[in-house]
Amino acid sequence: MNETMKEKCVRFMLIGFFILITISAFLYRHENSRLKVEANHPLALVLQTSIHTKDHPVVALYEYKNSKHLLAVYEIERTNRFKFKTLQAAELGSAPDDMSLDLSGIGLWIHINGEWLYFTNSLKEVKRNQSQRKTSPLETTFIYNEKKSVILINDKQSIPLMDGETPKGIYSLSEDGLLWLVITRQGLKIATIET
């Protein structure tokens, strides 16, 4: 069966059209998933700082893992190579924008979909008056030197990062300022500062 020039041209145009559609779909999917991961970056809240090396800090962490919004409370074991020991965990309906402490020091507040929700120590959501939420910022201010990939704290302390890591937040885990939790776009890390 002989193919005319017109039929051949139509066939190549259709093949090109479907290849273009397939490439566009892959690019859209990749960009959409990248934006979703950036929108769901990890959040942290220090619930308890450590006073000495045998005293372990406690943190609440939000992470988007395996297509789930997970909130967990961890104890970071200073004497066991900073192992994260899960104390409580819960799945959230959507990604939180922010986290805050409660004035009583028990439980935490999560800002989801424009509303502050209170969670107990066992991560059960209960009704509570928003006046009990601590509004003071808990995150440490820092300067990030992109050329050296170093976080500068208080002009005296510095934390090196790997190339390509960009800090989103930094939290002190100890009273002496020698143990830090660093949140980056890629995840989180524990940093120690030598004296």
- Least confident interval from 2-16, 23-37, 96-110: 23-37
What's the pLDDT at 87? Answer: 95
> What is 180-193 written as a DSSP string?
EEEEETTEEEEEE-
- pLDDT band per the 50, 70, 90 thresholds, residue 188: confident
Domain co-membership, 91 together with 168: yes
- Same domain? 143 vs 165: yes
pLDDT for residue 195:
60
Residue 16 belongs to what domain range?
A: 1-39
Both 84 and 54 in one domain: the answer is yes
Of 37 and 75, the one with more pLDDT: 75
Tokens of 96: 């939180």
- Are 2 and 83 in a shared domain? no
Looking from the CA of 98 toward its CB, the CA atoms found within 13 Å total: 13
Determine phi and psi for 87, rounding to 5 degrees.
-95, -40
Mean pLDDT of 33-60: 79
109 and 127 part of one domain: yes
Same domain? 26 vs 74? no
Residue appearing with tokens 């976080």:
151
The continuous run of DSSP H or E covering 145 comes out as: strand 143-145
Residues 8 and 82 in one domain: no
Joined tokens for residue 107? 């439980």
- Region for residue 41 given its phi and psi (left: phi exceeds 0; alpha: psi -120 to 50; beta: otherwise): beta
pLDDT, residue 37, reads: 47
DSSP3 helix / strand / coil % (the chain, rounded to 5): 20, 45, 40
- Best-predicted range by mean pLDDT among 80-89, 135-144, 153-162? 80-89
Same domain for 7 and 45? no
Kindly report the average pLDDT of the chain as a whole number.
87
Same domain assignment for residues 29 and 11: yes
Q: Does residue 50 share a domain with residue 35?
A: no
Banded model confidence at residue 72, pLDDT cuts 50, 70, 90: very high
- Dihedral angle computed from the Cα positions of residues 74, 105, 172 and 71, in that order, rounded to the nearest 10 degrees: 30
pTM over the 0.85 mark: no
| 162-177 pLDDT tens trace | 887 888 889 999 988 8
Same domain, 95 and 20: no
